[in-house]
Amino acid sequence: MERNHIIGFALIFAVLFVWSEFFFKPNMEKKAKEKKFADSIALASQALPSSDTAQIQQQLPAQSNGIVQDTPAASSLLQEQTYLLKNKLVEITISNKGARITKARIDSYKKIIPGKKNEEIITDLFLLEDPKNKFDYQIQTAQGPVHSGQLYFETVSQTDQALELKAALPGGGSFVVSYKLKPEDYVLDYSIRVDHAGASNDVTLQWENYLDKLEKNYEYEKFYTSVYYKEKEEDADYCSCRSDDKHDSKTKSVEWVSHSNQFFNTSLIPKEGFSSGSFETVMMPDNSEDLKLLKSTLNIPGASVHGKNFDMQWYLGPNEYKRLSQFNNHLQDIIPYGWSIFGTINRHLIRPLFSFLNDLMGSKGLIILLMTLIVKLLVFPLAYKMLKSQARMTALKPEIEKVKAKHKDDLQQQQVETMKLYNEFGVNPLGGCFPLLLQMPIWIALYRFFPATIDFRQASFLWAADLSSYDEFLILPFSIPFFGNTLSLFAFLWVISTLVFTYFSSKTMDFSANPAMLYMQYLMPLMFWFMFNKTAAGLTCYMFFSNLLNIIQTILGRSYLFNHDKIRDQLELNKNKPKKKGGFQERLEQMMKEKQRIEQEKLKNKNKS
């Protein structure tokens, strides 16, 4: 290539570069900026009435080619603004963008965050505060769907406890949202209205709520968190608390929906009911800053919202049983007391007893002690039968020892003769077990009661800082699988007291038929220790108190309740009475004999071979 050609190409590239950098590129950036602002003006035209849109246009300087530049006057009218509604219990923040609640501060409760050195940092407690949350109404108009979350609303009226907002809709008309906070309550009267000649279809609400971790033990908290809802003429239902789950309600109207943490909830309660809905729980990774993602999609009948108010109520506050039951729509069923017989025991037996004691005293630990005493008194008839059975077994023990000595080399015959002895003297070897089993529903119900009752939240007793969670008496420098890195002292004391109680109980029991059962009695508390170490301190405290009372009851019962000479005389009378055919003991004796026969047959066949 000749030198002149090279110089020519270099000059051409230089001219192109200068033109691109100083003429073409600035012009494209200017057009992009103008287009962006024009789009924002179009959005503002949807969000504001025509008079306000005209006001914006009047404040903007005219430019060539019909394009307006971004000015401080226009930007200020498009900025997000917030409003506060508050009373003595709650402070609610509402945004003009979407006219939705962006956070609610619960003044009567606090959130505790563990510090780097395991110290407790106390902060305000908020609901609905995550910026990722979505609360969006989809309105079908002749110009297409409109999403309320994209609209900027103007203020119609505002006080400390009431607010009404309005946004313009494409093609004319408006979307009106109003709030009114009740005094000294967590309830907001809430309504929406669509005024638009071209809109007649159902309005769909999409609600996505990223729940915050509100409790110190959030691993425990997430298993008591889910979406609850109630269909008309049905019991309350919920999505799974332990895995991803989704429910649909297409055939029946929905009376309410609640996004509930362990101790707090945000519930939406329509006056007429949503026509249908779907509900979903999404589990979050262990390292996520969020506890769970809860989703609800709800349909509002078009005839109920177009041209008239669709009235609802918000509840944003604690899971207090009395407050929730005042709605008279079973909203209190979101408190995870359990279902079937266990939930019934908690709601209609344990909770009323606790409420009565809670009105008398403030210490939750003393209330647990009194509850233990009262429950023991209620089940004392069962405990009396158990102690009486143990006393009869003690009186019969010399006879059992004679049978063991006579057949010490034949375990099968020893078991058969022992069962004959029980039948002869009218003693049921399992008489001490049945009363214990009948108390199990109460214990299982209490397992759900303590971590579900907000009154125990952050309530301290002795070394336990929070009776609704496990007590961290000792923090270990390492983590044990299924046990954790903390030691619960109440759980440890329960294990020790259970072993002591087992020792006293097993002294009167005969384990010759199954010696392994003796060792299982001592192994079981150690196995349950792994589960109870992470259980609510209120429950392990109750179980420890219960064991102490059981030990005292057993020692005093054997010493003062029963006369062993009289029991022995009664056994002799039973021996001389004619025996009834059939019954559990006779069937058990027959089983022993059949087992002995099979063993003997096996031994004969072995000798023949």
Which range, of 6-10, 151-155, 185-189, averages the lowest pLDDT?
Answer: 6-10
pLDDT at 594: 63
pLDDT at 454: 94
Mean pLDDT in residue range 166-174: 88
pLDDT at 453: 93
Region of residue 307 (phi > 0: left; psi between -120 and 50: alpha; otherwise: beta): left
Residues of the chain above pLDDT 90, percent: 40
Q: What is the spatial distance between Cα 356 and Cα 352, in angstroms, rounded to a whole number?
A: 6
63 CB burial (10 A radius; 0-12, 13-18, 19+): exposed
How much is the CA Rg of the chain, to the nearest whole Å? 36
CB 537 within 8 A of CB 470: yes
Say if residue 266's pLDDT is above 90: yes
Q: Which two tokens stand for residue 436?
A: 């214990």
DSSP H helices, 431-583, are 434-438, 440-452, 489-506, 516-532, 537-556, 564-576
pLDDT at 54: 36
Residue type for position 276: S
pTM for the full model?
A: 0.74
Tell me the DSSP string of 374-393: HHHHHTHHHHHHHHHHHHHH
State CA 419 to chain mean position distance. Answer: 49
Which residue is associated with the tokens 């009776």? 467
491 CB burial (10 A radius; 0-12, 13-18, 19+): buried
Mean pLDDT in residue range 571-594: 60
pLDDT at 442: 80
Mean pLDDT computed over every residue of the chain: 80
CB atoms closer than 10 angstroms to residue 306 = 21
More confident residue, 49 or 508: 508
pLDDT at 435: 57
pLDDT in tens, 311-334: 999 999 999 999 999 999 999 999
Say if residue 140's pLDDT is above 90: no
pLDDT at 457: 92
Say if residue 161's pLDDT is above 80: yes
Mean pLDDT in residue range 397-406: 76
In 3D space, the residue among 249, 270, 252 whose CA is nearest the CA of residue 315 turns out to be 270
More confident residue, 9 or 20: 20
In 3D space, the residue among 235, 252, 242, 254 whose CA is nearest the CA of residue 332 turns out to be 235
Residues of the chain above pLDDT 70, percent: 75
Q: Which two tokens stand for residue 234?
A: 């049905």
Mean pLDDT in residue range 491-500: 91
Q: Which two tokens stand for residue 358?
A: 């809670």
Q: Which two tokens stand for residue 319?
A: 């899971």
Which range, of 259-268, 361-370, 560-569, averages the lowest pLDDT?
Answer: 560-569
More confident residue, 534 or 131: 131
**pLDDT band of 305, cuts 50, 70, 90:** very high
Q: Name beta bridge partners: 146.
A: 139
Q: What is the spatial distance between Cα 163 and Cα 269, in angstroms, rounded to a whole number?
A: 19
**pLDDT band of 257, cuts 50, 70, 90:** very high
What domains, with CATH codes, occur in the chain? 3-77 (no CATH), 82-334 (2.70.98.90), 351-592 (no CATH)
Mean pLDDT in residue range 245-259: 93
pLDDT in tens, 415-456: 777 777 777 666 766 655 655 666 678 878 888 899 899 999
